[in-house]
Structure 1
Amino acid sequence: MATYEEVKDIPNHPEKYLVDVRNASELKETGVLPSSINIPLPDLERALNMPDDLFTKAYGRDKPAIDAVLIFSCKAGGRAARAANLASTLGFVNAKAYKGSWTEWEEKQSQNI
């Protein structure tokens, strides 16, 4: 599992990937996690199986290597866990979920204001 502190530090680690698996409409309602890319859960398997050049074109960054750290986030953690399991099934060895996801992020960020 990824922690709030690890997710907060993602902008300092461009080699890591923070993937928000919520739908685009949810992102418009709540906002986005800094440095995250959005790949809705229904699209994740297709995205992770894309050729490198198509992934880059679709998501604006290089396709993660099989050993890259992949942290998945959603609204409350359920879809993030499913996404991490899916990525692991596809051979990504450092896939993990951010258990608290957007709900925890928003709560902790509001405490820091």
Structure 2
Amino acid sequence: MFRGTFIRTAKTATRSFAVRPAIVSLKAVRLNSTQTPSAKPQKTPEELARKAALEKQDNLQRDWDAKVIPYEEFLVKTQNPSPDTYIIDVREPDEVIQGMIPSAVNIPLTVLANALHMDRKQFAEKFGFEKPRTSQEVVFYCRSGKRSTSASDVAKRNGYTNILNYKGSWLEWTAKENEKAASK
């Protein structure tokens, strides 16, 4: 602001030095009377709603990775099934033929997003078990841990809040179970 005023007044040779401070102070008075640099304009309800939605989205993405559950903790969940915990195998049906982890249910990753959008009745008819509530503990696994990570992301985007990812998945499970069987 001062620089522009000084340059403008320096270009005009007819103005005296005494006039320049008056011009600066008049501009400063005009600025202070209409808008101060520190004053923020009030936001509309639409802007506030948009800001709140963006903050909610940021909160969802802030801790995007689901908690990874190690084999030892996962084993306990498979040995003591609970109606409060769902263990979901996200492999395709032709992979599930090889076997499943005890107490798991299957929802292939390719249909998971659509499945989580179904109403409870449609879900039960299609998959043969009750749809997990968004607050229930849900543990995902696949073959090697990549699709279970994607499934965790899909569930989180759909409002699920208690998500665990068994990244060891089917490969680690079968290796550990084979080790136990060989040591007996």
- With normalisation by structure 2, the TM-score equals 0.58
Give the Cα–Cα distance (whole angstroms) in 1 for the partners of residues 129 and 152 of structure 2.
Answer: 19
Aligned pairs, how many? 112
Q: What one-letter code is carried by the residue in structure 2 that aligns with 1:20?
A: D
* 8 Å contact from structure 1 (residues 7, 18) kept in 2: no
1:80 to 148, 152, 175: 148
Give the Cα–Cα distance (whole angstroms) in 1 for the partners of residues 158 and 95 of structure 2.
Answer: 26
1:52 to 107, 117, 120: 120
Q: Which has the larger radius of gyration?
A: 2
Match of 2:57 in 1: none
Give the Cα–Cα distance (whole angstroms) in 1 for the partners of residues 160 and 149 of structure 2.
Answer: 14
1:8 to 71, 75, 87: 75
Say if 2:21 is the partner of 1:21.
no
In the TM superposition, what is the alpha-carbon distance from 1:2 to its structure 2 partner?
1.8
Percent of aligned positions that are identical: 37
Give the Cα–Cα distance (whole angstroms) in 2 for the partners of residues 8 and 49 of structure 1.
Answer: 30
Segments of 5+ residues of structure 1 without an aligned counterpart are: none
Question: Per residue, is there more helix in 1 or in 2?
Answer: 2
Detail structure 1 runs of 4+ shifted over 4 Å in the superposition.
Answer: none
Say if 2:154 is the partner of 1:89.
no
Q: Describe the superposition over 1:38-70 as per-residue Cα deviations: whole angstroms up to 9, x where unpaired.
A: 111010001111111111222222111111111
Q: What one-letter code is carried by the residue in structure 2 that aligns with 1:18?
A: I
Q: What one-letter code is carried by the residue in structure 2 that aligns with 1:56?
A: A
Match of 1:63 in 2: 131
Q: CA RMSD in A?
A: 1.2
Q: What one-letter code is carried by the residue in structure 2 that aligns with 1:41?
A: L
